Structure 1
Amino acid sequence: MASQTGENQQALHRITDMTRLISILILALHFYYFFYGVFAHWKLVSVFSDRILSNIYRTGLFNGFNRTKLIALGFLLISLMGAKGKKEEKLSVKKGFIVIGIGTFLYFISQVFVGRNSDLVMISLSYMLITVSGFCLVLTGGTLLSRVIHLKMNSKDIFNKENETFPQEQRLLENEFSINLPARYHLKDKVHRSWINIINPFRGLLVLGSPGAGKSYFVIRHVITQHIKKGFSMFVYDFKFDDLSVITYNTWLNNQDAYQIVPRFYVINFDDLTHTHRCNPLDPESLLDITDAAESARTILMGLNREWIKRQGDFFVESPINFLTAIIWFLRRYQDGEYCTLPHVIELMQVPYDKLFTILRAEKEIEVLINPFVSAYLNDAMQQLEGQIASAQISMARLSSPQLYYVLSGSDFTLDINNPDEPKIICMGNNPQKISVYGAVLSLYVTRLIKLVNKKGKLKSSLIFDEFPTIYLNNMDSLIATARSNKVSTTLGVQDFSQLRKDYGKEQADVIMNITGNIISGQVTGDTAKQLSERFGKIMQDRTSFSINRMDTSVSKSKQLDSAIPPSKISALSSGEFVGLVADNPEQKIDLKAFHCEILNNHQALKGEQDSYQAIPEIRKLDQAMVIRNYMQVKQDVLDIVEFEMEKIVDDPALQHLIIKKG
């Protein structure tokens, strides 16, 4: 094949050279015929040449002065079409055409010398010299054009934007659980309307985006409003209270006809006690066995000591958890849980060791938990004991405040939001300036709530967590994995995967990321953008490559699979612009699951709606004296419990062996 190509190229060069030679020959005949007298004066004529010239004359070639010149120029241009010059990057098409234009001008302007009453030899020489100069300039210009490098690149798409577009779902797919967000996207150079159809929110929804990307405004608020309109019971973790809580409250007010039994609306807010309900996260009816107490103890201590999350299993992490578990379960068993609240747990932990260990030993179910601490105390291993217990006492002491005690010691409602008989919508507010304290308590609330919600035979419910890493939920991946069959929708708002890894540890963060079926991401960078790009997959894209050698420029076009949404594009998303992937159902298939679009919010309508919102009403009148009185009552309750239990043990000979007396 190569040899055939070489022969064809060689034949082309021969044809080009022959055509150019014909052009020169015709121009020479033009000079010889029209200036025959000059050639005769120079004695450059003969009988043989005259005979040939007369034969050519009969063909009509010399009918008109410019006819031969035009024919010669035509052959020259034909020869230039096959010219192959040495390529140079600095040459331009404009320069070649300028030289050709000057040459053509000289080639025909030389005719002005013909017919002048001057020396015939001078006229002839001037005419031929100017005509040949024009001819040579046309030849030079054509050669320059053949040496120009022609690269037909699409300069309008220098960032490969159009090549990385792909078809997206344009149908509106709804069901009784779905979240549907209107959007628009680019396909090549056209804009199309589309829909982000989260038709199965029970497979989990992860909303990513750096601050200002629009997570709450473009996504989370619509999850809240659409799920309430579809009759969901709901829990909303409002990191910057009351941004989402006001939306939830007003949507609930305006859509109560969506429910068979209208849910009650509750708020937990530690900053303004007149606008909060009271709820006991350690409600004794929800603590069915000691494992529930252990889970609650782990949640509260992990929330207070986030670095412990990565050290689970260590002796000095598990020991405080066991100690707190024993305290919680003791209060759960004492008088059927009448004093089983977190404030009572905190105060009981501060009781002196000899009395505390004595009354705890009286409860058989926690004896195995408390024995290591008793042994360390009796053997004067105080350094070890302090290492085991003091870390729990110090951490829990941070929660000792009248405001927290007031909210945590009451019981206005229970956390079973999807109870068919008493559905609820609960908003819990955090304060970014008090994350370390409030976050731990809210983590306990949510852990207990999830335990109650994730059961069969309940109503459909929606759990929404804004800034999810600011609270700690143990086994969050299990909730997402198992809650689908129980109709529990989970929405997690996260700024970046690195934030999730920092607060939850790499293993659990990776599991949460990979187990989530629906992902909507605004602008993120680094490893997060890379992982998302890999998850979105690849599409077939056009590729054009150019090869420049000494004599030619070759263009190669191909198609290859490349990232549908590269990391650089995810890192440069504008506010309101999102990429993502949705999950589908067996009965509602979605072929085009990936998307890269701009979510369309009706800004004026949302602003008008927001301006008409009612503030969350005051729940109760309250003064500081009532809060302090409740605080002191909790402390007195614990003193009474210790005093009563010690008297009972001292007065009962069968229990006196439990009394700890350190010699």
Structure 2
Amino acid sequence: MQTGENDQAMRKILDMTRLISIVVLGLHFYEVCYGAFAEWHLTAPLSDRLLANIVWTGLFSNFYKAKLIALAFLAIALIGVKGKKDEKQNFRTAFIYLLSGLLFFFISFLVLLVRGKMTVLAGLYMGVTGLGYLLFLSGGTMLSRIIRDKLSGDIFNRDNETFPQEERLLENEFSVNLPTRYWLKGKLRNGWLNIISPQRSTAVIGSPGAGKSYFLIRHFITQHIRKGFSMLVFDFKMPDLSVIAYNTWLKYKGNYKVEPKFYAIDFDNLACSNRCNPLEPSVMLDITDAVESARTILLGLNREWVKKQGDFFVESPINFLTAIIWFLKRYKGGEFCTLPHVIELMQADYDQLFTVLRTEQEIDVLINPFVSAYLRDAVEQLEGQIASAKITMSRIASPQLYYILSGNEFTLDINNPDAPKIVCMGNNPQKIQIYGAVLSLFVNRLLKIINQKNKLKCSLIMDEYPTLVADMIPTIATGRSNLISTCLGIQDASQLRKEYGREAADVIMNIVGNMVVGQVAGDTAKLVSEKIGRIMQDRESLSINRTDTSISKSKQLEAAVPASRISALSSGEFVGLVADTPDQKIELKSFHCEIINDHEALKKEADGYLPLPEIRTINPGIVQRNYLQIKQDVQEIIHEVMEQLLNDPSRVHLVIRKA
């Protein structure tokens, strides 16, 4: 315990020590420069006898002995000095003073080697030595005034915001494991990002250029194919991810019990694209499948309808399209149940269209409002209900799309243990709205088919997921037990809210088990920061007053990764949380690390990739003939149904003839 008396006693001791240093140095000057003192008449018998007695002690047995003793006492005195703290003082200036003082203090003897007048040389010697002494004293005093706790050393608080992370490699038959580097208290350490439960779904979030595809999604593809997964890859920038999937499949297809087939859907490159019918009648078990398909395609083409579901002029076109899909599903066993046939049939005249649709009793409840409006001449209402669907669907009425969507080279049951598949579906950033709607239909039909028991483990890779209108929530919520792993690439939560609405976006963000986040800002950064949680951090405060300096230290719970830090992440640097399993517990679930990619090896591997194979030789004539054939099929359907009704007296009343 410090008291005023203790401080006063300490100051007296230090003053005495400093005085002893000065006295010893003065005696040294008197002994060395005795001749000069004699000329100055500064000697006396008493001082001479005193000096003689001191000589007998051995103090002056060596030229430097007295100087070293004086310097030692000065150093002891400086140790206890408490100077007023000054933020401007630094060690460099203090050491310059100390070293300069020592230099002058010890090389001053060179003055005595010069020939000259004794009094002049003695004055110079004492002046140079005294200068060195004062410089050393000033340097020591400066050291005592330096603030040794440099609070500004870590101006961004990086060291405080580091925390232990998982350094073990935890693998299983489903896991995705990525090597990492992270900082812990100023030291760079190696670790592992272990996504050991991808069935609990993974959200990969980051702004463009954050490294989602290069550092994460590509490894989901390669590691899951290596471990025998069936797979769907939604490739936003075809064929970037598809080429990786194709070449990985070529390398590891022998690892599967049943060798999987590789299929690709690319609307821009028909030669390399397989043909597939998303409205395959064999997997449309009831009319609810037709409803889901109609909803998906219309919401995909009119993204603003996503937030208006339930409105009259949104639900009416969906019911109209559902009726046409289900009619074609029931007509001749679904021989013409394809999206191109649906588009062409809905363009028919109302007389013929409603007559044809009325032949199917299951859809009578769906088309009855339209027929009634037509017969009552409620043209404006009818056009409002139907025209939006017809105009919307006409956007995808192109020969190229018709060609791919009217074929049936593979089915969407990609996790069928007897016929596993790896399917890549490509979008085009220049045609997001058109292609995205059709691909959304593919994805939604596929999600309904694969989410079943006793199927092969399956991985769904969705790059730029918000460009699709696919309801992933049921798959994320229930697909875990069916061994379905989902990886969603998202740029920002606000992008998800824009396309799906706030409620659906919030559900997706909150139910994913694994969250890997690169550079994002705003609400997304705040959300992720809150999910990671808080850690105990050291806090220091400095108080300087006229007489003293006080530094207080404390510990506080603060955000482990603040939102501002997430907003400033570099490419390849990610934060987030991982989920564990009952068999493999992970205590350190949070991470803030840099994922390590072997750039040279990946570049070399990419240089050796084979392009997607050319499936067929295609020319515009083939595509055009298919386009015209679909139109002809629809005309024949209408003609055949009308002829049957006219020749059947019991059903002729179904024919609509409006003057």
**TM-score category of the 2 structures, normalised to the smaller one:** 0.7 to 0.9
**Counterpart in 2 of 1:573?**
569
**Counterpart in 1 of 2:504?**
508
Query: Judging changes above 3 Å, is the alpha-carbon distance between structure 1 residues 88 and 271 closer, same or farther for their aligned structure 2 residues?
Result: closer
Aligned residue among 165, 168, 189 for 1:168: 165
Please tell me the residue identity of whatever aligns with 2:621.
Answer: A
Query: Is the Cα contact below 8 Å between 2:111 and 2:121 reproduced in 1?
Result: no
Cα distance in 2 between the residues matched to 1:399 and 1:124: 106
Please tell me the residue identity of whatever aligns with 1:246.
Answer: V
Is the aligned partner of 1:295 residue 2:292?
Answer: yes
Is the aligned partner of 1:214 residue 2:207?
Answer: no
- What are the equivalent positions in structure 2 for 1:66-465 lying under 5 Å apart? 78-92=76-90, 143=141, 145-152=143-150, 155=153, 158-465=155-462
* Residue-by-residue CA offset, 1:432-456 (whole Å, 9 max, x unaligned): 2221111111110110011000011
Please tell me the residue identity of whatever aligns with 2:636.
Answer: D
Please tell me the residue identity of whatever aligns with 1:506.
Answer: R
2:591 aligned counterpart, secondary structure: strand
* Deviation larger for 603-612 or 73-82: 73-82
2:488 aligned counterpart, secondary structure: strand
Instruction: Report the CA distance between 1:650 and its aligned residue.
Output: 4.1
* Residue-by-residue CA offset, 1:28-72 (whole Å, 9 max, x unaligned): 99999999x999x999999xxx89x98996997896599888777
Query: Judging changes above 3 Å, is the alpha-carbon distance between structure 1 residues 27 and 608 closer, same or farther for their aligned structure 2 residues?
Result: closer
Cα distance in 1 between the residues matched to 2:42 and 2:170: 96
Query: Judging changes above 3 Å, is the alpha-carbon distance between structure 1 residues 23 and 565 closer, same or farther for their aligned structure 2 residues?
Result: same
1:164 aligned counterpart, secondary structure: coil
**Counterpart in 2 of 1:594?**
590
- What are the equivalent positions in structure 2 for 1:491-570 lying under 5 Å apart? 491-570=487-566
Query: Judging changes above 3 Å, is the alpha-carbon distance between structure 1 residues 28 and 589 closer, same or farther for their aligned structure 2 residues?
Result: closer
Query: Is the Cα contact below 8 Å between 1:184 and 1:598 reproduced in 2?
Result: yes
* Residue-by-residue CA offset, 1:369-426 (whole Å, 9 max, x unaligned): 2222233333333222222211111110011111111111121221111122222221
Query: Judging changes above 3 Å, is the alpha-carbon distance between structure 1 residues 68 and 340 closer, same or farther for their aligned structure 2 residues?
Result: closer
1:197 aligned counterpart, secondary structure: strand
Cα distance in 2 between the residues matched to 1:545 and 1:487: 53
Query: Judging changes above 3 Å, is the alpha-carbon distance between structure 1 residues 11 and 108 closer, same or farther for their aligned structure 2 residues?
Result: farther
Cα distance in 1 between the residues matched to 2:180 and 2:135: 60
Query: Is the Cα contact below 8 Å between 2:111 and 2:124 reproduced in 1?
Result: no
1:362 aligned counterpart, secondary structure: coil
Query: Is the Cα contact below 8 Å between 1:206 and 1:519 reproduced in 2?
Result: yes
Query: Judging changes above 3 Å, is the alpha-carbon distance between structure 1 residues 656 and 6 closer, same or farther for their aligned structure 2 residues?
Result: farther
Please tell me the residue identity of whatever aligns with 1:326.
Answer: A
Query: Is the Cα contact below 8 Å between 1:62 and 1:68 reproduced in 2?
Result: no
Query: Judging changes above 3 Å, is the alpha-carbon distance between structure 1 residues 99 and 406 closer, same or farther for their aligned structure 2 residues?
Result: closer
Query: Judging changes above 3 Å, is the alpha-carbon distance between structure 1 residues 128 and 491 closer, same or farther for their aligned structure 2 residues?
Result: closer
Cα distance in 2 between the residues matched to 1:403 and 1:482: 36
Structure 1, unmatched stretches of 5+, are none
Q: Number of aligned residue pairs: give it.
A: 655
Query: Is the Cα contact below 8 Å between 2:178 and 2:192 reproduced in 1?
Result: yes
Query: Judging changes above 3 Å, is the alpha-carbon distance between structure 1 residues 645 and 5 closer, same or farther for their aligned structure 2 residues?
Result: farther
Query: Is the Cα contact below 8 Å between 1:237 and 1:429 reproduced in 2?
Result: yes
* Residue-by-residue CA offset, 1:585-609 (whole Å, 9 max, x unaligned): 1111122223333333344443443
Instruction: Report the CA distance between 1:189 and its aligned residue.
Output: 4.5
Query: Is the Cα contact below 8 Å between 1:294 and 1:321 reproduced in 2?
Result: yes
Query: Is the Cα contact below 8 Å between 1:107 and 1:133 reproduced in 2?
Result: no
Query: Is the Cα contact below 8 Å between 2:84 and 2:549 reproduced in 1?
Result: no
Instruction: Report the CA distance between 1:514 and its aligned residue.
Output: 1.7
* Residue-by-residue CA offset, 1:248-271 (whole Å, 9 max, x unaligned): 222222323212222222222222
* Residue-by-residue CA offset, 1:505-534 (whole Å, 9 max, x unaligned): 222122212211122333333333332233
* Residue-by-residue CA offset, 1:332-351 (whole Å, 9 max, x unaligned): 22223222111111112112
Query: Is the Cα contact below 8 Å between 2:180 and 2:596 reproduced in 1?
Result: yes
Cα distance in 2 between the residues matched to 1:599 and 1:99: 48
Instruction: Report the CA distance between 1:98 and its aligned residue.
Output: 6.5
Instruction: Report the CA distance between 1:646 and its aligned residue.
Output: 3.1
Query: Is the Cα contact below 8 Å between 2:165 and 2:588 reproduced in 1?
Result: yes
Query: Judging changes above 3 Å, is the alpha-carbon distance between structure 1 residues 220 and 97 closer, same or farther for their aligned structure 2 residues?
Result: closer
Structure 2, unmatched stretches of 5+, are none
Is the aligned partner of 1:470 residue 2:455?
Answer: no
Please tell me the residue identity of whatever aligns with 1:631.
Answer: Y
Cα distance in 1 between the residues matched to 2:125 and 2:273: 106
Please tell me the residue identity of whatever aligns with 1:527.
Answer: D
Please tell me the residue identity of whatever aligns with 1:9.
Answer: D
1:255 aligned counterpart, secondary structure: helix
Cα distance in 2 between the residues matched to 1:462 and 1:364: 40
Cα distance in 2 between the residues matched to 1:294 and 1:459: 28
Query: Is the Cα contact below 8 Å between 1:249 and 1:265 reproduced in 2?
Result: yes
* Deviation larger for 279-288 or 53-62: 53-62
Q: TM-score, normalised by structure 1?
A: 0.85
Please tell me the residue identity of whatever aligns with 1:284.
Answer: P
Instruction: Report the CA distance between 1:27 and its aligned residue.
Output: 8.3
Cα distance in 2 between the residues matched to 1:362 and 1:539: 68
Cα distance in 1 between the residues matched to 2:135 and 2:246: 84
2:282 aligned counterpart, secondary structure: coil
Q: TM-score, normalised by structure 2?
A: 0.86
Q: Percent identity?
A: 62
Query: Judging changes above 3 Å, is the alpha-carbon distance between structure 1 residues 586 and 60 closer, same or farther for their aligned structure 2 residues?
Result: same
- What are the equivalent positions in structure 2 for 1:621-640 lying under 5 Å apart? 621-640=617-636
* Deviation larger for 11-20 or 610-619: 11-20
Query: Is the Cα contact below 8 Å between 2:204 and 2:517 reproduced in 1?
Result: yes
Query: Is the Cα contact below 8 Å between 1:150 and 1:553 reproduced in 2?
Result: no
2:452 aligned counterpart, secondary structure: coil
Query: Judging changes above 3 Å, is the alpha-carbon distance between structure 1 residues 99 and 483 closer, same or farther for their aligned structure 2 residues?
Result: closer
Query: Judging changes above 3 Å, is the alpha-carbon distance between structure 1 residues 507 and 10 closer, same or farther for their aligned structure 2 residues?
Result: farther
Instruction: Report the CA distance between 1:25 and its aligned residue.
Output: 7.9
**Counterpart in 1 of 2:6?**
8
Cα distance in 1 between the residues matched to 2:571 and 2:116: 83
* Residue-by-residue CA offset, 1:167-210 (whole Å, 9 max, x unaligned): 33232222222222233334345444332222221111222333
Query: Is the Cα contact below 8 Å between 1:107 and 1:135 reproduced in 2?
Result: no
**Counterpart in 2 of 1:483?**
479
CA RMSD of aligned residues (A): 4.0
* Residue-by-residue CA offset, 1:123-182 (whole Å, 9 max, x unaligned): 999999999998777766655554444444584x55444443333323222222222223
* Residue-by-residue CA offset, 1:261-291 (whole Å, 9 max, x unaligned): 2222222222222222221111111111111
Please tell me the residue identity of whatever aligns with 1:261.
Answer: V
Instruction: Report the CA distance between 1:457 and its aligned residue.
Output: 1.5
Cα distance in 2 between the residues matched to 1:139 and 1:246: 74
**Counterpart in 2 of 1:642?**
638
1:412 aligned counterpart, secondary structure: coil
